[in-house]
Structures are given as structure tokens and as C-alpha cells.
């Protein structure tokens, strides 16, 4: 059967999103259904069945099913992973609790820290030692390993993490333990640090390996269940999983390294935003993705989203760096900047309004869903303010109870504050916008950007609703809402390359480094990464990118240097030093010519050529805005602090060149766009909605915007 379809599926905390694309025609179909927290694969099957009602028998023609999930990060946050044990070097049993002995808040004497995923009684030591240069100081006693393994098995562990000191330089002892466990306990899930993260920094490496081991059994179980459900439905194509680094990978790789897919869902929106930024040659784009549970952002500069090698999950203090578990894997530089549509509003201990971090999720969901939710949420506030149509949520397939939302806000928020329900609803809406704006400005400033020059790209079911308020608060001049923004992550999967990142630490001072040895190390990494891509390559050329992580000798942080992929032994040491000094000076304003530098870590990214992806032009040939108007309804004005009439447009009827000024609301099945007062909207030939926050201020500005001259 001719396979011309690709299907993207993103499981969020509240909704599971689907985008089906026909590569022959370029046409898209979408679906959105509530997530099933107990078994996320149930919602996947339900959503596909609903798509089958629209397009019978498409599933047999799907070449690729690309999937992103919050399963891994939710398991960590909710502590629902496997019972896990740790085998480490004698003296390092408590590294997960000691960390780096840094207080994330120097003045908080009651500061809390996250509990390790592996309790102390399940952490055991073996008497072995390898030096930082790879020399064996003390041999491993396999009899001792058998004894420690038996103790862990008696304690009921389902998974084991192995992380020995300096194993990134010489993994001989870790590999011996790996073979012993495979022979003695073949049913035990196993993660060894040399495969998960062969890099320096004992705490981060141990924490990352422990996290991989903690979520590995439940991830394997889920992916098997998902694969079986898809097969039952008739799917016979390739199954890909979105990586946190912005690439996609095979089911087998995701099963072996689940720590790599922690941020798989939110990453896809950034990759889509990056694709659109290159398409329209936008220098700085601020990706804003607000779903049902969280809002995340990323600053894309010069068409490229940044990658970081370390991030945190499960923070005790949501926005305080250092209060979470460090995970050292490649990840798109995302920042959580706020709550989502399902985030609960409440009165805190000080008698003040607070929104989040608790979320109503998909079960029971916001009060207006009518599924038993009792606490008002951001979605309830947006509904009470008139931004959402209670009869057109999810295209009318899920009616909302506006009266119940209004009553919950009045009872639980307005009454304690001594104010009206409308004022309380606006307080919820404005507070989350203010929280996100403050975090967004900090994030942009840290990356050397200017909020006054960024284009905000809005994604998620709630993103287009709040983008106008957020952009006003940070001073952004323009908003871009792409087609199918409400399922933007699921659509973003199609723009992601098949790719995998690998790294290995090997410290060597530049002046005395053996470049031939480094070339061999690079080739080993390339061979390993190519093997991971091998099953999906289909005789395609594998593209390779190399990166050096270097620092001044004695320094504690590294600088990343992307280099050309020519043989490393053809480089001159002076060339490498010049590259380092140039990048260091760009980042910090100066360099230190007399100080020696050293190599720390070598990284390789292997990827397949970009796959074709395009947004088809709008087919509608309308020329009259009147045909695009659904109705008018009162909605709350952020400028007037009162309800004013908003013209409501049907996005599916909007035509290329359609332009109008706010206040207006644009509705589609997956999301709602708010165009506030003082702003003007324009639709281009592909259906992207451009909102200029300044064009509506004058007739001249509006005319220029309609012509696409701003």
C-alpha cells in the first residue's frame, strides 16, 4: 500500500494532540482529545479512532508515526518510576544527596531540596578505583559485585544504575558489572553511566544515570503498549520518538535512553518556530507555548534555537535554579515561564491571589469541563472574560459550563478578596500574564536579546489567547500565530530531523594534546551515533556535526565551539586557540591570551537529511471580511478594564490579505486568538496570522500593515 501519510501525536498534561499530513497533497487534518493519565496510550488510540471517522483506512498508509510525550517528566515529578538501585564506587554512596553543596537560595534557612530518586538503603558501593586519566588503581572484585547485586534483588529493585568514578575515561569496570548483571539477572533493567553519559562531573553523571534507570521500565512498558495498540489499529510504518535535543529517534533508542525524551513535547514547538523563523527570515523569535499544564518559552536567535547540556526537573522552588534534579543531556534551551490553562487559582497563606503550580490536568480538569473539577483555573477565567466560546470549544465537540466557572471564581477567589467575579477573573488572567512576562524578559535578557525586537510565536491551546497580553507586557511589537497553532507541537514533529547526539569527556591541555587520538575519539562517537541511526537511514547519507567543549585550565565551566568536520589531525593548534579566543571574547567581552586552555568534552551530532515539509497555500478565494465574521460578543478589554464588543472571525474562512483591527477574536477548532485594542491582524498566503501591536494605532500604520510592509 502506498504510504503517503505522516502522523504526529503529542501527549500533554491535559490534551493529546494529533496532526495528520498527506505528503502528496500537503493537506492537514487535526484532532484533540483529553489525555488519559492512567494509560496515555488509551488517548492515542481514541484520537486515532476519531481521525479514522474523518478519513477511513488512512492508518495503513501512514509511513511515520512521530510521538512526543510527558510520560517521563511526569514520572519523575510524581515519583512514579521503578524501584531503583545504585552501584557506585566506595565512598560515593551519598553523592546524590551531597550534590555540589551549593545553596540555591543563600538567605533561605528553610530551603528544601529534592529527594533523590534512589533512597539511601538502595545505594550500594563496590571497592574499586580508576584515576582521572583512566589508570586502574584498584581492581574490581566481581564476587563483591555479586553480593551487592543479591542485596539489591532482595530489596525488590526493578532497575539498577551503575555509575563508577572516572568511568567516562575508562569504562572497563562498568562494562564488567554490566556483563555480570546481564548473566546473573537478565530480567533486571540496567543503565550504566558510560552509555548514558560518559562525561565529567560525578554528581550530574550519577543523577542522570539514576534518572534513566528510574524511568526505563515504565517507558519500555508504555512504548510496548503503544506499539501494540498501533499495530492493532493497522499501523505498519516507522515509529519515531521526539528527543529533548530537537531530533527524533527510533523506538529502540528511546526505550534504552528515556532520559533523552524528558522534554520531547515542548521541544517540538520550538523546532517548528525555528522552521518558521527561517522561512520568514525573522532574526529574533520568542517561542511561546502555553498548553493545559505549563507555559514554556525559547528565544530563537539568527534562526537557531540554543542547545544546553544541563537542565533541571522536579524543582522544589519552581523558578529557582539549583532546586531541582540536574539532568545532563542535550536539550533545547527551554524555560518554563508560567502555568497553563488548567493551572489552579487560589488564595495563598498571605491572603493573596496565586495561580499554579498545581494543575487540574485532564482529570478532573477545569470547572467548566464539567468533570468534577471544583477549583477555578486559568481556562475558567478566560471563559468568564469572554475570550472563549462555551459552545465552540474543540470545534463544539466539548461544551463548556460558563456559569459553573463564574460561580467557582466568585466563591473561591472573589469572595475571599472582597471583589467581583469579573475582577477576580481578570486578576487570574492578568497575574499569569505578568508572571510569564517577568520570566520572559529575564530569559531574553540572559540570552542577549531585546524584548522590543522579538516576534512572539504563539503555540498551544492557550498560547494564542494570552500572546497579546504577554507581548504587551514585554514590549514585543509583533505576534505570529502559525496555522494549527493549538496543535503546534504535533505539527512541529514534521520539521524535526532524525538525529542523535553523543559526547565523551577526555581532558587534554591544548598545547600537549594528541590530535590523532582526538580524531579517533571523534570517529568512535560518529560510528556509535551512525549505528543508532542505522535502522532508519534507508541508505541516506548521515550528516555529522562536531563540537568541542573547552575552557581555561582551572576554570569550572566550558565554552562550546562548533567546528568543521574535517579530520581533526589536520587542524593546527593555533587555529583551535583562535576559535576559542574569538568565541570567548564574543560571550564575555575579553579573553586571556596568556592562559592555557584545555579540551574537556567532545560532542557529535549525527542526523539524516532534512525531510520535505511545507505548509500548503490557503485555498479560500474570498475577498470580503464580512463572509469571515461569525458573530460579535463582549469580551474583557485589557485597555479599558471593561467588556467591549469583539468581532469574532472564523479562521478557516480567512483569505490571503485579510486584515482587520482589534478588538477581535479569531476562532479555530484547536485554539482561539485574541487581537486586543491597538493591534491589527493580517493573514498571509499560507494562513499565518500576523498581529502588529502598533499598526492599529494609526490609519497610516494600519494601511502599511495590510500591505505587509511592516
Question: How many angstroms separate the CA atoms of 376 and 367, rounded?
Answer: 6
Given the candidates 3.40.1360, 1.20.1260, 3.40.50, 1.10.3470, the CATH classification of the domain at 83-214 is: 3.40.1360
Each domain of the chain, given as residue ranges in start order, spans 5-76+221-261, 83-214, 343-429, 499-607, 625-706
Residue 456 has pLDDT above 60, yes or no: yes
Report the C-alpha gap between 398 and 372 in whole angstroms: 15
Nearby residues of 393 by Cβ (< 8 Å), 6 or more positions away? 399, 400
CA distances from 688 to 93, 181, 276, 669 (A): 54, 55, 10, 16
Cα 599 to Cα 514, 518, 521, 564, 691: the distances in Å are 11, 10, 12, 16, 47
pLDDT at 710 over 90: no
CATH class of the domain comprising 5-76+221-261: alpha beta
Strands (E), 529-641: 543-552, 559-563, 597-607, 629-637
Q: What is the pLDDT of residues 152-209, one digit of tens each?
A: 999 999 999 999 999 999 999 999 999 999 999 999 999 999 999 999 999 999 999 9
pLDDT value, residue 423: 94
What average pLDDT score do residues 311-316 get?
81
Beta bridge partners of 159: 84, 189
The whole-model pTM stands at 0.84
Judge contact between 196 and 208, C-beta under 8 A: yes
pLDDT tens per residue, range 19-47: 998 888 778 888 888 888 788 889 999 99
Task: Of 177-181, 492-496, 618-622, 685-689, give the range with the top mean pLDDT.
Answer: 177-181
Work out the end-to-end distance of the chain between its first and last CA atoms, rounded to an integer number of angstroms.
47
Give the separation between CA 473 and CA 596, rounded to whole angstroms. 45
Q: What does DSSP say about strands 455-459 and 284-290: parallel, antiparallel, or unpaired?
A: parallel
Q: Measure the CA–CA gap between 490 and 66, rounded to whole angstroms.
A: 8
pLDDT surpasses 60 at 696 = no
Cell 520531547 belongs to residue: 264
Q: What whole-number percentage of the chain has pLDDT above 70?
A: 96
pLDDT of residue 318: 64
**CA 608 – CA 611 distance, rounded (Å):** 8
pLDDT single digits (tens) 200-234: 999 999 999 999 999 999 999 999 999 999 999 99
Contact between 377 and 342 (Cβ < 8 Å): yes
> Which of 26-30, 83-87, 425-429, 632-636 bottoms out in mean pLDDT, i.e. has the lowest?
26-30
Alpha-carbon span 165 to 91, nearest angstrom: 10
Instruction: List pLDDT tens digits, range 539-569.
Output: 778 889 999 999 999 998 899 999 998 899 9
Predicted local confidence at residue 427, as pLDDT: 94
pLDDT tens digits for range 334-361: 887 767 888 889 998 888 898 877 778 7
**Whole-number Å distance between alpha carbons of 467 and 449:** 19
Helix residue ranges per DSSP H, 131-187: 142-154, 172-184
Amino acid at each position: 500500500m502506498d504510504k503517503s501519510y505522516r502522523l504526529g501525536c503529542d501527549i500533554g498534561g491535559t490534551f493529546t494532540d494529533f496532526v495528520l499530513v498527506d505528503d502528496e497533497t500537503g493537506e492537514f487534518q487535526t484532532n484533540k482529545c483529553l489525555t488519559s493519565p492512567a494509560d496515555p496510550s488509551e488517548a492515542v488510540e481514541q484520537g486515532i479512532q476519531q481521525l479514522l471517522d474523518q478519513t477511513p483506512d488512512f492508518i495503513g498508509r501512514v509511513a511515520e508515526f512521530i510521538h512526543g510525550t510527558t510520560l517521563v517528566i511526569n514520572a519523575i515529578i510524581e515519583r512514579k518510576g521503578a524501584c531503583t538501585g545504585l552501584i557506585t564506587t566506595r565512598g560515593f554512596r551519598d553523592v546524590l544527596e551531597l550534590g555540589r553543596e551549593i545553596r540555591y537560595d543563600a538567605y533561605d534557612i528553610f530551603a528544601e531540596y529534592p529527594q533523590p530518586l534512589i533512597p539511601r538503603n538502595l545505594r550500594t558501593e563496590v571497592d574499586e578505583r580508576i584515576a582521572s586519566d583512566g589508570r586502574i588503581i584498584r581492581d574490581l572484585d566481581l564476587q563483591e559485585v555479586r553480593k551487592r547485586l543479591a542485596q539489591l534483588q532482595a530489596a525488590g529493585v526493578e532497575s539498577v544504575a551503575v555509575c563508577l568514578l572516572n568511568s567516562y575515561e575508562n569504562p572497563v569496570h562498568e562494562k564488567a558489572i554490566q556483563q555480570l548483571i546481564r548473566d546473573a539477572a537478565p530480567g533486571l533493567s540496567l543503565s550504566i553511566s558510560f552509555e548514558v553519559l560518559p562525561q565529567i562531573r560525578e554528581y550530574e553523571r550519577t543523577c542522570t544515570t539514576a534518572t534513566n534507570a528510574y524511568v526505563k521500565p515504565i517507558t519500555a512498558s508504555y512504548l510496548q503498549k503503544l506499539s501494540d495498540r498501533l499495530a492493532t489499529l493497522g499501523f505498519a510504518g516507522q515509529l519515531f520518538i521526539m528527543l529533548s535535543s530537537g531530533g527524533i529517534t527510533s523506538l529502540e533508542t528511546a526505550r534504552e535512553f528515556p532520559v533523552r525524551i524528558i522534554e520531547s513535547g515542548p521541544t517540538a514547538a520550538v523546532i517548528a518556530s525555528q522552521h518558521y523563523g527561517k522561512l520568514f527570515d525573522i532574526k529574533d523569535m520568542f517561542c511561546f507555548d502555553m498548553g493545559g499544564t505549563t507555559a514554556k518559552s525559547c528565544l530563537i536567535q539568527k534562526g537557531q534555537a540554543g542547545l544546553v547540556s544541563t537542565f533541571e526537573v522536579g524543582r522544589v522552588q519552581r523558578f529557582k535554579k539549583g532546586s531541582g534534579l540536574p539532568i545532563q543531556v542535550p536539550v533545547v534551551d527551554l524555560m518554563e515561564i508560567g502555568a497553563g490553562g488548567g493551572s489552579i487559582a487560589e488564595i495563598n497563606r498571605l491572603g493573596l491571589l496565586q495561580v499554579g503550580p498545581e494543575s487540574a490536568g485532564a482529570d478532573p480538569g477545569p470547572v467548566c469541563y464539567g468533570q468534577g473539577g471544583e477549583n477555578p483555573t486559568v481556562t475558567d477565567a478566560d471563559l468568564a472574560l469572554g475570550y472563549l466560546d462555551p459552545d465552540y470549544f474543540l470545534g463544539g465537540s466539548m461544551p463548556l459550563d460558563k456559569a459553573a466557572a463564574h460561580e467557582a471564581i466568585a466563591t473561591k477567589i472573589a469572595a475571599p478578596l472582597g471583589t467581583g467575579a469579573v475582577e477576580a477573573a481578570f486578576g487570574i488572567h492578568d497575574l499569569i500574564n505578568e508572571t510569564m512576562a517577568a520570566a520572559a524578559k529575564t530569559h531574553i535578557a540572559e540570552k542577549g536579546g531585546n524584548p522590543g525586537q522579538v516576534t512572539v510565536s504563539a503555540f498551544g491551546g492557550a498560547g494564542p489567547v494570552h500572546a497579546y497580553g504577554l507581548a504587551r507586557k514585554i514590549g514585543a511589537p509583533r505576534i505570529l500565530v502559525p496555522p494549527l497553532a493549538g496543535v503546534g507541537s504535533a505539527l512541529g514533529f514534521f520539521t524535526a530531523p532524525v538525529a542523535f547526539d553523543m559526547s565523551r569527556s577526555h581532558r587534554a591541555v591544548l598545547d600537549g594534546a594528541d590530535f590523532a587520538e582526538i580524531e579517533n575519539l571523534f570517529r568512535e562517537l560518529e560510528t556509535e551515533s551512525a549505528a543508532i541511526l542505522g535502522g532508519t537511514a534507508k541508505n541516506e547519507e548521515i550528516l555529522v556535526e562536531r563540537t568541542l567543549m573547552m575552557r581555561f585550565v582551572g576554570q569550572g565551566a566550558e565554552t562550546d565551539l562548533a567546528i568543521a568536520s574535517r579530520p581533526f589531525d589536520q587542524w593546527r593548534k593555533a587555529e583551535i586557540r583562535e576559535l576559542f579566543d574569538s568565541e570567548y571574547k564574543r560571550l564575555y567581552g575579553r579573553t586571556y591570551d596568556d592562559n592555557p586552555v584545555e579540551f574537556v568534552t567532545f560532542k557529535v551530532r549525527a542526523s539524516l537529511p532534512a525531510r520535505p515539509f511545507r505548509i500548503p497555500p490557503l485555498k479560500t478565494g474570498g475577498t470580503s471580511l464580512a463572509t469571515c465574521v461569525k458573530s460579535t460578543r463582549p469580551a474583557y478589554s485589557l485597555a479599558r478594564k471593561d467588556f467591549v464588543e469583539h468581532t469574532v472571525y472564523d479562521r478557516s474562512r480567512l483569505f490571503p490579505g485579510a486584515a482587520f483591527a482589534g478588538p477581535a477574536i479569531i476562532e479555530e477548532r484547536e485554539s482561539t486568538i485574541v487581537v486586543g485594542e491597538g493591534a491589527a491582524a493580517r493573514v498571509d498566503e499560507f494562513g499565518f496570522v500576523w498581529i502588529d501591536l502598533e499598526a492599529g494605532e494609526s490609519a497610516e500604520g494600519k494601511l502599511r500593515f495590510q500591505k505587509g510592509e511592516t
